[in-house]
Structure 1
Amino acid sequence: MDAARARRHGLRVAPLVSVLLPYRQAEATIEEALESVLAERAVDLEVVAVDDGSTDGGPARVARIAQRDRRVLQVATGGVGIAQALSRAAEAARGALLARMDGDDISVGERLARQAETLLRDPRLDVVGARVEAFAAGPIGEGMLRYVDWLNSILTPEDHAREMFVESPLCHPSVMLRRSALEQVGGFREVPWAEDYDLWLRLDAADARMAKLPELGLRWRHREGRATFADPRYAIARFLEAKAHYLARKLGPARPVAVWGAGKTGRRLARALARNGVAPARFVDIDPRKIGRIAQGAPIVDPSRLERGAETLVVAVGARGARALIRGHLAARGFVEGSDYVCAS
């Protein structure tokens, strides 16, 4: 039963969902992306399709779909970039719930209806993502596959809060969020790093609750030229800057800070934190070759020297599996993640 019929029968339906879909040079994929969203009939929706400076046939294809489906609203920016394009889309949108979609991805499995119902059912939630499947015309790199597996393992609000400074825990085109939550943190912003990660970090700082559907909701296309690979704001160094900027605020001046990890990952994060006014007082490491030495003016000590409550610990290790081992060690000693320590990378 679609949303209009449900309303006529007096059944509960979610508020209007506005799908924000900016696109540029997406002639080959925009129709499939749009149709995958418009196929949903169990939720009231509109699609704000923002042409952000296309010079191909994409806008014409969107126009043809808009002629036969009044749920599609066309906006053109002339080419202002993803953050401003999303701001224009949000301004034009009428819905209390804002969903994301990109012009080269495929929404699957009635994910908008399920996300809207989840937000309607739990007023404490502010953002609901979905599990994703990466696909491409050619092979997908091992690093990306590991990232997708990690991302899909994060489901609950507690999971998202715990992993926020490890990596971006949500795939942007898979999410739905409350307009009120977006407006509370200042909307979409132009920043020196990825605009989506910046949004999750601001929402986390505002104690917003984020979750993810346990089912697949989006087929996430990876192709040459995509911003994830081509835009310098998505480089690893920029992600580190974003983490340090918000993590330094979270740590604050209340207690000294120690970094577990005197290797490349820990030292790199420590330098970034210092640039944001939080210089670690010491490093922690298990490597006997490092213990007793000095790094960035701070001593490197054995984990046995840690004392709960004496400092806030930042776990920053790069070796696969090391973070889980450290979490287990700290839990056995009574350390509580989120108050005694935070994981980052």
Structure 2
Amino acid sequence: MAAEGRRRRGLGLLFMLSALLAGAAGYWLYDRYTGFADAPLSGMRDGAALVVERGDSFARVLGKLREAGATQGHDAEWQLLARQLGADGRIQVGEYALDPALTPRLLLERMRDGKVVSYRFTVVEGWNIRELRAALAKANPLVQTIGELDDAALMEALGHPGTHPEGRFLPETYVYTRGDSDLDLLRRANAALERALQAAWESRAADIPLDNADEALVLASIIEKETGIAEERAQIGGVFTRRLKLGMRLQTDPTVIYGMGSAYDGNIRRADLLADTPYNTYTRDGLPPTPIAMAGVDAIRAATNPADGDTLYFVAVGDGSGRHVFSRTLDEHNAAVRQYVRRYREQFGPR
């Protein structure tokens, strides 16, 4: 009986030791696992990123992560953590920044939730289509697809065959992600323009001398090129509106410059004002055939809801501020022009 008791006590002690060892091992494994999950990624290079492509398996994603420099954790630990976070099988396509403070847990949560790297592209108010195309061609990592398309083919690809591209993209900042193309971005900018133009046209003043929203866009593009001062846009819209009502020519330099195309060298001369083109509003009545630039929302509103008044002329102040003097009569305007020339010469010297 004594021997049996000693044997049982020995077995009990062995069981206790085994349990303690198992507990210690379990604690060590848990501590190692949590230390892996919540420790910053080691071995990452500055500016490193992980690109998950359609069809990538979890093993392939881990392989890309190793290629980017990550050294910590076994694949089994990554797989266990992914299952714990509900990321296994739910990793979303896109580009993920691998910044130094990122932990495996945070990275997997980002990939599960699709928190990808985003980029910004701004369509600038007053740009023409050539300037927009040139800026898109330099935008990285935007996928380039329109370089070989002429303007007609571009608009056909956007679903607007026969439409001139000038002015058809709304100036604002667009967010995109890796894999998006220049055509994707233009499609969004075009849709935004159509919405803004339609909203402005539906709320237009009752007596404006415009037949449709496209004419409003043409006028808006001229207003956009005439001033960068927000509070002047409606005033300039009012001048052009009154001129159209009276049958006066618009006589606006930006349309002449647009009609000159690549021949414009930064100066506009009297001969240029007299050289007839479809866009020369000194030689032709009414509006030019298309917009001359990308007009922002404020310029579109100024075209559809111009300011009331009786001014018919305006000229730059001449002090470099970009502001204008508005006049009711030609005599007042001529005096303002002389003042402009004097101020310009005082500040910048003879032309």
State the TM-score, normalized to the length of structure 2. Answer: 0.24
* TM-score when normalising by structure 1: 0.25
Whose helix proportion is higher, 1 or 2?
A: 2
